[in-house]
Structure 1
Amino acid sequence: MMNITRRAVLAASLMLGLLPNVALAHDDQHEIIHLMKGMFDTPENPLSVEPVVVVGDNAIAGWVQGERGGRALLWRVDGQWKIRLCSGDSLKDPKLLESANISASDAATLAAQLAAEESKLDPAVLAKFSSFEGTMMIDPEAGHQGHKHGSSTSP
């Protein structure tokens, strides 16, 4: 009986030690979804953001809006998430992520986490992510309003 109690206490201690990290990752995901929806979501053309993977101060988020989709590369600047660029399949490549000044280890981790999360998605959603052609740089200084002008509100 003593072994079970010790194991239970050890397991509970480990879980409690991990909970802050899990909570922080969830908060980051929520902030990123909120940011992207605030910038691009409209009642007539809602934005879906999933998956969101976060490693340190970098993240990749998949998005779908109507028949379009893609992936966004984000970074945390002064505690705030900002979109750096939008692209398609190129954001699955750790070498491209490294060229965006992400460390090799973080780039590899981001790519691996993205692959794991995307493996759970419907192939039709993945096809929309892949349909984004080229790379669209986002001006982090433009703020939310800077991206709403023009005929397209998609990322």
Structure 2
Amino acid sequence: MPKVAKNTDFLQQLAEVREEVAALRRAGWERDELPFYPTSLHGLVYEDNTSFTTLWETVLSPRTAKLSLGLVFIGDVVTATNTGGDWQVVFNDVTVAASGTVPATFAFVFPALTLDLSPYRAAAQLKVQVQIRRTSGAITGGKYGGGGSIGGAPRYARLL
């Protein structure tokens, strides 16, 4: 195997390291973790509304092309009646980027999404909301008295 003589000049090595660090900074990180914040009216991650309500949200600078998002949802059980519902991810209070259902089986669902941020790359900020609504289940009782609740949370959020 051929051997390569390394430069022993300290200043030359320092210049090479600085150039590599500058290139990495220009390229950005391959993955950035993204925090989400709870916004439920009850202050917890459960809601019993029959219209879409935001549970979690964040505002980001869309410097990457994709958002990898993992979610978890579960319905409630009130006097042997299971609660089901719908979930959606909304951009800027308007655009529904992804949606799905929470089955009325009192079982967890784990949606894993890769959302395209390309249309928003020129924007200074992008608001991302995770919303839920109850579509079936008890109409009284439950965690807050308005019927069964839907619980949800982000498991991970990464900018790719």
Give the shorter-chain TM-score range: 0.3 to 0.5
Give the alignment's TM-score, normalised by structure 2.
0.31
Give the alignment's TM-score, normalised by structure 1.
0.32
Structure scoring higher RCO (CA < 8 A, sep ≥ 6) equals: 2
* Greater helix fraction, Structure 1 or Structure 2: 1
* Greater strand fraction, Structure 1 or Structure 2: 2
